[in-house]
């Protein structure tokens, strides 16, 4: 900047204003400055600019697992929304580890990101993480997982409705012994389980505790959980799985056991990950509109980041949508 000012015989300030399209600069001066800037390949230094303006135009995105296609879709849509607004997105992969997540968030705070979107892996009600976040004054939006006791904006589906939708579908397909491979103790896992319970109760079906098994987040967990279900007698005739990777693993186990999907055991997952249609047996699922979640969250965040004072937290619930494919369609 100094060079440009010197070369053109104007002051630093004139250059600074010209570069930022400030109003009180003559068109002629502006053009000269921009021309010289291009000649010198000059790019304004964001670090210095941030230091004085207090804004970094960085947005943090804290995710439990980038390799889970649901979060990859969210990341893509968040970036697609935020980048045109001038924000760069810093993605932190927490690997479902609450401690690691805490550290990442502290780092993002110290780096003065303008805002954060997080699918938090915290299990506890009110963790140090959210205290630090609130103290920092940095706006943030929760996605996918609700953290009890944290009153921040949220975007996601109502997981009990999702669980109910899936379970109702299995009932409608004629299943009577419906099992659930449940997820971990985060809000999505709890909510889906609750929806499953609620639906069976309302339908007057007795809930058997041994039909509810823990499946973790991924396909290996789903595979192992299904092996346990396959020990039972009578066998379940339908399984609602925490998510699509878990369901894919479960299907693998069922097929290896020589049983038919969906004829003997119908299976449904959740998330509608993009390859669901390409699996061994095209997978029925409940769609969560991952890209819509990302978009809405980005919108809420960008409002909060540009607002003078913190806007009221808002909760946006995306309605879950049933997608029936072969894995649960009974041809009775």
Q: Which residues bind a second copy (CB under 8 A)?
A: 41, 43-48, 50-51, 56, 58, 66-67, 69, 72-73, 75-76, 79-80, 83, 88-93, 95, 104, 106-112, 132, 135, 219, 245, 248-249, 251-252, 274-275, 277-282
Residue 75 binding partner per list a second copy, DNA, none, with a CB distance cut-off of 5 to 8 Å that depends on partner kind:
a second copy
Judged by CB under 7 A, the residue of 2, 38, 206, 310 near DNA is 2
- What is the C-alpha to C-alpha distance for residues 301 and 87, in angstroms, rounded to an integer? 11
Q: Which of 7, 16, 106, 322 binds DNA (CB under 7 A)?
A: 16
Tell me whether residue 31 or residue 210 sits nearer to DNA (CB atom): 31
The nearest distance, CB 18 to DNA, in angstroms, is 7
- Phi and psi torsions of 189, nearest 5°: -65, -45
19 binds DNA (CB under 7 A): yes
CA 323 to chain centre: 20
Q: Which is nearer to a second copy, 62 or 164 (CB)?
A: 62
Q: How far apart are CA 252 and CA 245, in angstroms?
A: 11
Contact between 37 and DNA per CB under 7 A: no
d(CA 113, CA 87) in angstroms, rounded, equals: 10
Please choose, from the candidates 96, 38, 100, 42, the residue with its C-alpha nearest in 3D space to the C-alpha of residue 64: 96
Asked if 298 contacts 81 with a C-beta cutoff of 8 angstroms, the reply is: yes
Residue 117 phi/psi, 5-degree rounding, is: -120, 125
> Nearest distance from residue 14's CB to a second copy, in Å?
21
Counting beta carbons within 10 angstroms of the beta carbon of residue 98, is it exposed (0 to 12), middle (13 to 18) or buried (19 or more)? middle
Closer to a second copy by Cβ: residue 110 or 332: 110
The residue ranges that bind DNA (CB under 7 A) are 1-2, 9-14, 16-17, 19-20, 23-29, 44-45, 48-49, 51-53
């Amino acid at each position: 900047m100094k060079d440009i000012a010197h070369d053109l015989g104007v002051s630093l300030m004139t250059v600074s204003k010209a570069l930022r399209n400030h109003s009180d600069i003559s068109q002629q001066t502006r053009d000269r400055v921009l021309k010289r800037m291009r000649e010198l390949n000059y790019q304004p230094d964001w670090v210095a600019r941030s230091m004085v303006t207090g804004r970094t135009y960085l947005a943090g995105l804290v995710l439990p697992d980038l390799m889970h296609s649901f979060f990859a879709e969210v990341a893509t849509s968040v970036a697609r929304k935020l980048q045109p607004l001038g924000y760069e997105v810093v993605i932190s992969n927490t690997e479902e580890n609450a401690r690691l997540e805490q550290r990442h968030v502290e780092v993002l705070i110290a780096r003065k990101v303008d805002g954060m979107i997080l699918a938090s892996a915290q299990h506890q009600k009110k963790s140090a993480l959210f205290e630090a976040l609130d103290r920092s004054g940095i706006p943030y939006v929760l996605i996918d997982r609700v953290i009890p006791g944290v009153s921040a904006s949220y975007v996601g589906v109502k997981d009990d409705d999702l669980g109910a939708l899936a379970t109702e579908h299995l009932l409608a397909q004629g299943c009577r012994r419906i099992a659930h491979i449940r997820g971990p103790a985060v809000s999505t896992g709890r909510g889906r389980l609750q929806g499953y319970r609620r639906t069976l109760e309302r339908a007057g079906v007795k809930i058997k505790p041994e039909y509810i098994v823990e499946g973790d987040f991924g396909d290996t967990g789903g595979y192992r959980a299904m092996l346990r279900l396959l020990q039972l007698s009578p066998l379940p005739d339908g399984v609602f799985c925490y998510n699509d990777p878990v369901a894919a693993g479960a299907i693998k186990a069922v097929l290896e056991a020589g049983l038919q999907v969906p004829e003997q055991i119908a299976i449904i997952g959740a998330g509608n990950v993009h390859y669901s249609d390409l699996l061994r047996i095209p997978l029925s699922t409940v769609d969560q509109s991952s890209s819509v979640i990302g978009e809405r969250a980005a919108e809420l965040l960008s409002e909060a980041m540009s607002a003078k004072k913190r806007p009221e937290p808002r909760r946006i619930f995306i309605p879950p949508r049933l997608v029936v494919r072969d894995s649960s369609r009974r041809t009775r």
